[in-house]
Amino acid sequence: MIELMRASKTYDRGRGVRDVSFRINKGEWVLLVGGSGAGKSTILRMMYGALRPDNGDVIVGSHRLSLVKDKDLPTVRRLLGIIDQDLTLVADRSVYRNVSLVGEVLGWTKKQTRVQALRVLNRVGLHAHLDQYPHNLSRGEMRRLAIARALVAQPFALVADEPLIHLDHETATSIVELMAKIHAQGTSIVLATHRAELFDGYPVRKLYVENGELREGTP
């Protein structure tokens, strides 16, 4: 369902990733584990087309991204629920409006938009915060809002870049538990993290990224 085939990306300073190959099958929960600058974010950004690999290719569903024109990339990205590190929440929109914006962009009816938005906000535990604005939320609640927005269009996979960053242990653990519930309900997950120990005991597959190279197994 998602596959990278010998994908490489080099930046001007020489850093990047080299010959990355792996496949994420339906129903899997995959961690990209590594420190800052290891190449995790580059891999994820290639996965949803924010970066084009210099060599190799990426397949998302039935789409080979090297054959997808830039103007058609948004259609492919809708197959994925994307959460980047800075969350990109809309500061002047309420919790509800941050999520309902997805339905507006996709051309849903007002009824469909409301039903879907309330469904996912209840799912992530934000049903009591509909009229709050992002700056009124805790860091954990902001993560939950980003997750809700990523899930509203019912993607087949959730792609998250460091969703536990800057969270205390208790809050990070609650986000991992939420991810586990989402995974158990049938959504595939791939996320980058440097806090792999918080996922011990969960049905995750760990891929380790170091100096732009990827390998499976123990660190």
Indicate the domain borders of the chain: 1-79+159-219, 89-154
pLDDT, residue 13, reads 75
CA distance 10 to 211: 12
Distance between CA atoms of 70 and 198, rounded to whole angstroms?
A: 37
Output the pLDDT for position 24.
95
Q: Which CATH code is given to the segment(s) 1-79+159-219?
A: 3.40.50.300
Position 34 scores a pLDDT of 93
CA quadruple 51, 54, 56, 57: dihedral sign: positive
What is residue 37's predicted lDDT score, i.e. its pLDDT?
Answer: 87
Residues in the chain with pLDDT < 70? 14, 217-219
Per 3-state DSSP, what percentage of the chain is helix, strand, and coil (rounded to 5)?
40, 25, 35
Residue type, 115: V
What residues form DSSP beta bridges with 8?
Answer: 55
20 phi and psi angles, rounded to 5 deg = -85, 125
Give, in degrees to the nearest 5, the angle at Cα 110 between 75 and 183: 55
Q: What is the pLDDT of residue 219?
A: 53
CA-derived radius of gyration, the chain:
17
In this prediction the pTM is 0.92
